Chain A
Amino acid sequence: KNEVEQSPQNLTAQEGEFITINCSYSVGISALHWLQQHPGGGIVSLFMLSSGKKKHGRLIATINIQEKHSSLHITASHPRDSAVYICAGTQGGSEKLVFGKGMKLTVNP
């Protein structure tokens, strides 16, 4: 079992919809990263959080440490949000990121 699990694996939405991408992780993960990989292949870090909530533009990331769960929300989705969203956990006490398998989001106009 992977230490970081994402659901769903694929999601198709209509422009303007509110989207939630989920990530659950196992004991030993002490921080969560959300990454975005566009069809061209480049990877961009969206958030790193170890508690609470962070917001950047239309993106909101939350983490619930007790439930070992994080969510990435996209408000007013747009076709340019189409990408693979990857959740990655920091193994406590190390440099190491452990990655989820990613979720492919397609936002249709």
Chain B
Amino acid sequence: DTAVSQTPKYLVTQMGNDKSIKCEQNLGHDTMYWYKQDSKKFLKIMFSYNNKELIINETVPNRFSPKSPDKAHLNLHINSLELGDSAVYFCASSPRLAGGYNEQFFGPGTRLTVL
């Protein structure tokens, strides 16, 4: 019954490694997002996809690459992990384009710790 799910919930890894976080939504929504919440709990958008098409790409290092195999999935791949990548990453979805004007549904978050 989970609306927006993310895996894994916790991810601990060494600097320099490559890792992926998966997100799936079963709400039938067209638009999905990745947000980063830093250690000060400040949320910031990273990417937005609508029907598998990239809509928003905030000034995120190109070590971060989102991939949307279909509109229900938006995965986040991170290459060459750095200490500063440690954060909680939230996936979210909304019913359609102009998601800023629609309620967004958030996943439970993935806490990434880079050692």
- CB closest residue in chain B, given A41: B109
Instruction: Knowing A88-B43, A101-B40, A101-B42 are in contact, say whether A43-B99 is a contact too (CB < 8 A).
Output: no
Interface hits, B6-62 → A, CB 8 Å: 31, 33, 40-45, 48, 50, 55-56, 58
The listed residue (B42, B88, B100) touching A96 by CB distance below 8 A is B100
How many pairs of A and B residues are in contact by the CB < 8 Å rule?
62
Interface bin, chain A:
20 to 34
Tell me the complex Cα distance, A30–B102, Å: 12
- CB closest residue in chain A, given B50: A95
Contacts of A43 in B (CB 8 A): 90, 92, 106, 109
| A44 beta carbon closer than 8 Å to chain B | yes
- CB closest residue in chain A, given B58: A96
- CB closest residue in chain A, given B102: A48
Q: List 21 A-B contacts (CB under 8 A).
A: A30-B101, A31-B100, A41-B108, A41-B109, A42-B109, A43-B92, A43-B106, A45-B106, A48-B101, A48-B102, A95-B31, A95-B98, A95-B100, A96-B48, A96-B56, A96-B58, A97-B100, A101-B41, A101-B42, A102-B41, A102-B42
